Amino acid sequence: MKLVPVAFGGECGEPLAQQLQAVRVFRHARALPVRFQSGAIVYCTRSPPAQTDRHGASVDANNITEAQEARAQADSADLILRAVAFAAHKHRDQRRKDKDASPYINHPIQLATVLWEEGGVRDPKVIAAALLHDTLEDTETTWQELRGVFGEEIADVVLEVTDTKWIKKAVRKRLQVARAAHSSDNAKLVKLADKICNLRDVAAHPPAGWSLERKQQYFDWAKEVVDQLRGTHPELERRFDEVYTLKP
């Protein structure tokens, strides 16, 4: 039986990272409080059957509409949380290339956070695709597996932003530039967030052993890709231009 939020303590638009950190759920109570690290609480209850008169007509369309909206919110949160869990499991043994060897899952979570908090993107499928964006490229995950768990639309976006690893790196980079403009809108959003996060990482926590020249070349290549994405999301493009000024 589905659970839907019926009351909120806190803002629905609070930071994604806080929304994802639910630390307590009482599964067997009549009302189930989910407490977030921010202090916000969402109370969930089992969906009541729709109220109808003897002819089957709705008694209170407003209440039903509110219930449908609440159910949609709960389904969106469930999709995002499932994507986080899936990505965390798939990347569990991987580390970033920075000197601290930070957990790889930090990167897709950063993408989702940029889209949500800086880009105002609220489409749960885009957020989920961002969380999953490296699973095909960097793990043993298959497109068929993603489609089975998250649906074809999300699996296709992840495939669009996936490089073919067996191709030489220089060729892969040229292909990214060539393909960028022809990507779907959702894939472009994920790619924009990816380039923003990667440049921020290279500027602040570059991969160990990278020379100044390699950092500069990476910045320039990222800009080539993003220049093919212009017109997708002005605010995210502005954020990219802002971080590009940090070029070494």
What is the token pair recorded at 73?
Answer: 């919110």
Q: Is 170 helix (H, G, I), strand (E, B) or coil?
A: helix
Per-residue pLDDT of the chain (248 residues; tens, 9 = 90+): 233 333 333 333 345 555 444 323 333 333 444 443 434 334 444 344 444 444 445 555 566 688 788 888 888 999 999 999 999 999 999 999 888 889 999 999 999 999 999 999 999 999 999 999 999 999 999 999 999 999 999 999 999 999 988 899 999 999 999 999 999 999 999 999 999 999 999 999 999 899 999 999 999 999 999 999 999 999 999 999 999 999 99
Assess contact for 5 and 66: CB atoms under 8 A.
no
Residue 121, exposed/middle/buried by CB under 10 A (0-12, 13-18, 19+)? buried
Instruction: Evaluate whether 129 touches 154 at the Cβ level (below 8 Å).
Output: yes
pTM summary value:
0.77
Write down the pLDDT at residue 12.
Answer: 35
Amino acid identity at 135 = T
Q: Which of the following is catalytic: 14, 98, 118, 138?
A: 138
53 is catalytic: no
Tally of residues, the chain = 248
CB distance 24 to 33 below 8 Å: yes
Other C-beta atoms closer than 10 Å to the C-beta of 105 total: 20
Task: Out of 117, 118, 137, 163, pick the active-site residue.
Answer: 137
Q: Which tokens sit at 84?
A: 């986080």
In this structure, how many other beta carbons lie within 10 angstroms of the beta carbon of residue 173?
18
Query: In this predicted model, what pLDDT tens digit does every residue of 156-215 receive, in sequence order?
Result: 999 999 998 889 999 999 999 999 999 999 999 999 999 999 999 999 999 989 999 999
User: At CA 135, angle to CA 74 and CA 91, rounded to 5?
Assistant: 90
pLDDT at 74: 84
In words, the CATH class of domain 96-244 is mainly alpha
98 an active-site residue?
A: no
Q: Where are the domains of the chain?
A: 3-84, 96-244
Is the CB of residue 33 less than 8 Å from the CB of residue 43?
yes
Q: How far, in Å, CA of 31 to CA of 145, rounded?
A: 34
The residue assigned the tokens 């209850």 is 45
